[in-house]
Amino acid sequence: DMSCLRELVFPAVMIPGDIMIMPLDYWWLSQTNSLPPDVVRGCVEETILLYSFQLRDRQRPTFAFENIGILSCQDNVLCMQFHCSCITGLEIQDTWVALLLT
């Protein structure tokens, strides 16, 4: 049911034309928390489902993901704030650039 998403604000984010948008890589994400990729995928899917039910019921919960970050809805804006350790773990090759871009 998409009706619960209508109230959310989707801020315009300018993405440079040379940046490729790719689907979430569960294997890559699993490398930061020692869980198998299928478990990470299941967690992501269950979280999205649970969060959509909460939005439908006009609730604005905050989810904290150990070693990953915090998902929250403030002023009708959905936001994922990643922990620095997660970002640096995923972007080992160029840590400072990764931290600056988030």
**pTM tops 0.75, yes or no:** no
The answer to the question of residue 43 being in a domain is: yes
Domain that holds residue 54: 25-101
- CA torsion 96-83-11-13 (nearest 10°) is 20
* 55, containing H or E segment: helix 37-56
Contacts of 56 (CB under 8 A, 6+ apart): 1, 3, 4
What is the pLDDT tens value at each position of the chain, 102 positions in all?
A: 555 556 655 556 666 677 676 778 888 888 877 789 999 889 888 888 887 788 777 788 888 877 788 888 877 777 778 887 777 776 665 556 555 655
The answer to the question of residue 83 being in a domain is: yes
Total of domains in the chain:
1
Can you give the pLDDT at residue 39?
A: 92
The answer to the question of residue 88 being in a domain is: yes
The answer to the question of residue 11 being in a domain is: no
Can you give the pLDDT at residue 64?
A: 84
The answer to the question of residue 39 being in a domain is: yes
Can you give the pLDDT at residue 26?
A: 86
The answer to the question of residue 14 being in a domain is: no
Can you give the pLDDT at residue 58?
A: 79
For residue 71, what is the DSSP state?
A: E
The answer to the question of residue 65 being in a domain is: yes
For residue 8, what is the DSSP state?
A: S
Contacts of 33 (CB under 8 A, 6+ apart): 40, 66, 67, 68
The answer to the question of residue 69 being in a domain is: yes
